[in-house]
Structure 1
């Protein structure tokens, strides 16, 4: 029998700043680039009622933690449920079980922030955000910690959403945040473009990207999710979170492959390889770069362990008892 910590979404909400998430996730991707194990998402589908069960995991040896997400979506509901088991990477013992709802936009945003830091030009000041949900907020907050962003143009097809997003973010940042009437207006002259949507068709024209632009696309976690067009994929130095997931569920890249625009050799490197210095990232100010963020156990485990340590220090959460297999099987 061992004790682990159960942390609710409320326990971890506000426990860490966006920059702390970015720091933890950057180090985790460095470990991945140096060989830390991680596997892409596994998806199990239920037909009746229609729904899906997802899982992915990673081991971070230097952090001393391993874990990931298991979550469900569909089943007649409009919501998803995120659970994060966290284990000690030295002993294998459980450390915590975390309700992942409130950390989800922050840890995913942190992966985007790490990519912006690794791949965007150092002098990037103009940001475009396409999407206005929780994930768009997480991406913007993380990006603000790694670049001196001066202007943000945000687009959503729903006028009220984009105007509300701009008003909210203008209250939090010195940057000028403006709602614009089209994705083309958002992307025009942008140094960094973030797409955080559920789109099945491209959300902007890749011909509009200026040389030197960085794009983070985080809504491409299914073969039919396609935020980026063939032109963007073809023009870009293409960097995914995990190479193994690209042909599995990176919708935009899969579509470009099927159209004969690119092949697997177009995958430049994993983000972790760039962060660890094992592969170059941006090689000139003219390069267009893309980070394809489908979600991994790397950022999940890193964020969960960071939150776990903070919760322990602040005496948050509830202890739960978990039996080892030997005790459960033998009763001894």
Structure 2
């Protein structure tokens, strides 16, 4: 059994590596998934399991402490580990650092979705939220859409927005802090949202034709980031039917009120990667819900483990 640290993961991972690992994983049969979520005083513990026939199986156990980034010194809001099992014989082959793997998996998932759905000529990205996932999402999206040459940053707190803007500027990326969210939504060609919001932030009325919307933050039945108009104006896609429908408020709430139906969700990542669904015209709005899932962790973990073998 190999212990894989965050440094090990960073040695072999790049955004193209992560995206291609996920793309290859979605050419395999769909995973069998099971989740368990417990909560105490706003803090959560999530255990996710996945078995991908012919690839690997794994368990991811993480805690989610939303206030951790505000501590002195700050700590990650998500902490945990991933167990990777040999698919053929069932033994543990690796234990991988979960914080680092989560960032590669989450942002890589959104970037793979954008590679299938965002227009190839997108120029302006709006990042809603300036937490720990903001920079990975920006970097991952820019890796699959190199035409992105401007980043708009919106966040409720000015300090985090400024820290993100400065980080981007230091790497030569044109970045601007925005305070009028509707106006920023109307400027963006690609919108990525990673917040803890329970009230919609993205108003569909403000979206311009051709925009791709990447919804990352919501992961409980009470959470959502886009309003009903955004969902009805856009063509809807998810990374996994199993981890989104019936689990996340982004889709559950509008389904319960009759705004959208299951049939309105046109495909999952298997459909997108295998070419059964995707963008059809330059002017249509596409909406992708990143629901995560242990199958994505298993895909990245397996690719990392294989890349480290022999090193």
Distance 1:50 1:203, change over 3 A: closer
Deviation at 1:113, TM superposition (A): 0.4
Equivalent residues of 2:36, 2:48 under 8 A apart: no
Count of aligned residue pairs for this structure pair: 303
Indicate the residue corresponding to 1:296 in structure 2: 293
1:42 to 35, 42, 46: 35
- Comparing 247-256 with 52-61, greater Cα deviation is found at 52-61
1:58 to 50, 73, 78: 50
Indicate the residue corresponding to 1:88 in structure 2: 86
Deviation at 1:184, TM superposition (A): 2.0
Tell me which structure has the larger Cα radius of gyration. Answer: 1
Deviation at 1:86, TM superposition (A): 0.5
Indicate the residue corresponding to 1:149 in structure 2: 148
Counterpart Cα distance in 1 of 2:308 and 2:282: 42
Cα deviation digits, residues 43-77 of structure 1 (max 9, x gap)? 33255x77533222333445x32224122335997
Aligned to 1:291, the other structure's residue is in SS state strand
Matches within 5 A, 1:63-78: 64-73=55-64
Indicate the residue corresponding to 1:225 in structure 2: 223
Indicate the residue corresponding to 2:99 in structure 1: 101
Indicate the residue corresponding to 1:286 in structure 2: 283
Equivalent residues of 1:84, 1:100 under 8 A apart: yes
Distance 1:284 1:106, change over 3 A: same
RMSD of aligned alpha carbons: 2.2
Counterpart Cα distance in 1 of 2:295 and 2:51: 8
1:248 to 246, 249, 264: 246
- Comparing 250-259 with 116-125, greater Cα deviation is found at 250-259
Matches within 5 A, 1:1-332: 4-31=1-28, 35-39=29-33, 42-45=35-38, 51-61=43-53, 64-73=55-64, 79-147=77-145, 148-173=147-172, 175-277=173-275, 279-314=276-311
Q: Could you tell me which runs of 5 or more consecutive residues in structure 1 were left unpaired when the two chains were aligned.
A: 315-332
Q: Could you tell me which runs of 5 or more consecutive residues in structure 2 were left unpaired when the two chains were aligned.
A: 70-76
- Comparing 51-60 with 189-198, greater Cα deviation is found at 51-60
- Comparing 79-88 with 231-240, greater Cα deviation is found at 79-88
Counterpart Cα distance in 2 of 1:179 and 1:214: 20
Query: RCO (CA 8 Å, sep 6+): is it higher in 1 or 2?
Result: 1
Distance 1:246 1:310, change over 3 A: closer
Counterpart Cα distance in 1 of 2:98 and 2:224: 25
What is the TM-score when the length of structure 2 is the normalising length?
A: 0.90
What is the TM-score when the length of structure 1 is the normalising length?
A: 0.84
